[in-house]
Amino acid sequence: MSNVPLGNEKKANVDISRRKFLVGTAGLAAVAGLPAVAVNAAAANPPTSQAKTTTEKWKGDTVTTKDGIQIYYKDWGSGQPIVFSHGWPLSADDWDPQMLFFLSKGYRVIATDRRGHGRSSQTGDGHDMDHYADDLKAVTDHLNLKDAIHVGHSTGGGQVVHYLGRHGDKNVAKAAIISAVPPLMVKTPANPLGLPKSVFDDLQAQLAANRAKFYYDLPAGPFYGFNRPGVKTIEPLIWNWWRQGMMGGAKAGYDGIVAFSQTDFTEDLKKISVPVLVMHSEDDQIVPYQASGPLSAKLLKNGTLKTYKDLPHGMITTHADVINADLLAFFKS
């Protein structure tokens, strides 16, 4: 039988319910490592619109381009800025090993999701190097970056090269392109070492037929070199690649194949005056070595070629310790 005086049952029930709620939130706070007082204060003071804005900003930031596309970016730390441009068909997340490493070394690290990829707008058009370069400029202008270092992997290497060739290197200190697509991937009379156009047509056909399967087969095979004898497959890497690819739009992935394979970066490379480190592996099964890294290094005014023997195309992930150390040495040189 209740000891609560008659007439006070309702008030007592409210008090008991409130105590249960506070105890529950205190327990959640303990699990999350948050002070119970903070949770209780939050319960007593519902979030304001200003608090909501702060939370949304914490989740990530975007820049709106001239054609109305939202470009998502991460921006961590302070110090000299390093801007990372990812490969096809991935996202800023592909740079996690580099972002954390260089953040710990005192750099400001920034990475974007290219249009149609990751958390950026899934637009149906503009999936070409001119737009990619202009989108990168929109981010660097928005953040007012000075003395920046630009790093691009694969298609992102082409984006960096075209950005520097198209918009100049006034506020750029250095650049590095890793397993990058320049000067030109497709075979032409002037580029006999390139791959036949039919190779890229087949990639588009596989994407259109079954994008989910295609985005599994690539990282499970040649991208990370898991198809090489003696190389142990790392299943979580495959699924992380797949996750990033499937976050983006199918149209961006489809059109992006043309952008990275048929864009000729020769004139862009010739215009760049800042020091550029060209990092490429002889065993790259996605962007063949002989038609890319050595040729790009020769076309650059101030290029340095760093050759690896048995590393895969996705070496920024599988061999992050090696790549990070070589990048750091170049940045400090």
Choosing from 120, 154, 179, 296, the catalytic residue is 154
Residues 6+ apart with CB under 8 A from 264: 183, 184, 191
| Residue in 155, 136, 192 with CA at minimum distance from that of residue 313 | 155
Residues 6+ apart with CB under 8 A from 186: 194, 195, 196, 197, 200, 261, 262
Burial 287-324 (b: 16+ CB within 10 A, else e): bbbebbbbbbbebbeebebbebeebbbbbbbbbbeebb
Per the DSSP assignment, residues forming a β-bridge with 278 are 177, 305
| Residue in 139, 181, 140 with CA at minimum distance from that of residue 269 | 181
Choosing from 94, 134, 268, 284, the catalytic residue is 284
Catalytic (active site) residue 162: no
CA distance 9 to 331: 71
| Residue in 92, 97, 112 with CA at minimum distance from that of residue 316 | 97
Instruction: Indicate the DSSP class of residue 181.
Output: -
Residues 6+ apart with CB under 8 A from 129: 158, 159, 162, 259, 263, 265
Per the DSSP assignment, residues forming a β-bridge with 84 are 111, 151
Catalytic (active site) residue 154: yes
Catalytic (active site) residue 284: yes
122 token code pair: 């899934």
Per the DSSP assignment, residues forming a β-bridge with 111 are 74, 84
Instruction: Indicate the DSSP class of residue 222.
Output: I
CA distance 40 to 25: 7
Choosing from 127, 131, 280, 313, the catalytic residue is 313
- Amino acid of residue 272: I
Per the DSSP assignment, residues forming a β-bridge with 172 are 148
Catalytic residue ranges: 154, 284, 313
